[in-house]
Amino acid sequence: MEKVRVLVVDDSALVRKLLSAMLDSDPGIEVVGAAADPLIARDKIKQLNPDVLTLDVEMPRMDGLTFLENLMRLRPMPVVMVSSLTERGAEVTLRALEIGAVDFFTKPSSDLANCFAESAQEICTKVKLAARTRPRAYTQVQKIAVPPRLSADAVLPRSQSPGTRGGTRIIAVGASTGGTEAIRVLLEAMPPDAPPMVITQHIPAAFSGPFAARMNNCSAMRVCEARDGQPIQPGHAYIAPGGEHLLVMWDGAKHVCRLHDGPQVNRHKPSVDVLFRSTAASIGAAAIGVLLTGMGDDGARGLLEMRESGAPTLVQDEASSVVWGMPGAAWKLGAAGEKLPLEDIAARLLVLAQQPIASARRAAS
């Protein structure tokens, strides 16, 4: 049986000597050479054509990761990394395995001779197993930059003194996955003189207008895509445009829709948290908060802010939700006073809307 031909690459002369002697002691391994840095190793790979490389992580002239990446891209071969017992060593080793290294073993920081001797069998086994592998060429994948997850603070600072203005109930609704159908069920059950509703559904910009038109056709309420500065009136439902946050603001004598082209919140735009926060700040206890089916947790903290401002709050139950992510997160957070099946929510909203605002504040506490 042919021996496994190994090239040892390490900037430490002592490590090269000890590791070479230990590997050579195995009858199935032959150390064909050693190199003090990657540039020397590059030439020796061409000259000696080894089966396996042992590669130190940190070396002069070119670090081990850069060399490994170049090697696996241009001449893929089995590599066993030699890693230090440090947090930095662990991070680099994991990255080396991603690039294509077959395995690794740790290099002790002291008493090298005894530690290597104790680990001789393990290291030799790793090298011989590595020789049986056929690493693929490394292709660098363009990493997608993940934007930071921002809270509603990025759009609207939290009000320290939410107030009740106008004395008219406004229902704020949030939804995501499965929400287009849930909103349809809700709107179909509302009478033409229902309290005004402001709705944020996670939806692309091209779909929010057609969605609002479809809801207008199936509801006794007048449903539209919200416009900036549009007065909020009873019997109307306003759906956030895709790609813009919908806020409820007090404009001197009336509540109006405000559209905000700010950053994504909870990686969504429009964001339910933004709608709920603005509702808590400008309407307070006169509002009612509803969080329907959806993936993630957008809206959970905003619903809690609404409840803390005195507004009644409720969520769709798990059994009737397509995904009980957003309502489930709100429920676990203590943001909702009630949990109801989808088909019962409209009737409950109409009952809550008839309650005096002062008693609603007590009910939410």
Please check whether residue 280 is in contact with residue 315, taking contact to mean a CB–CB distance below 8 angstroms: no
pLDDT confidence of residue 362? 41
User: Where does residue 30 rank: exposed (0-12), middle (13-18), buried (19+ CB within 10 A)?
Assistant: middle
Q: Which of 301, 253, 291 is nearest to 171 (CA)?
A: 291
Which residues are identified as catalytic? 176, 202, 298
Please check whether residue 133 is in contact with residue 126, taking contact to mean a CB–CB distance below 8 angstroms: no
Tens of pLDDT, residue by residue, the chain (365 residues): 689 999 999 988 988 999 999 999 999 999 999 999 889 999 999 999 999 999 987 776 777 788 999 999 899 999 998 876 555 566 777 788 888 888 888 776 667 777 777 788 889 999 999 999 888 887 765 544 556 788 888 888 887 665 566 567 999 999 998 899 999 999 999 999 999 999 999 998 888 999 999 999 999 999 999 999 999 999 999 999 999 999 999 988 899 999 999 999 998 999 999 999 999 999 999 999 999 999 889 999 999 999 999 999 999 999 999 889 999 999 999 999 999 999 999 999 999 999 988 544 444 44
- Cβ contacts of 266 within 8 Å, gap of 6 or more: 149, 150, 151, 273, 296, 297, 298
Q: How many Å apart are CA 15 and CA 12, to the nearest integer?
A: 5
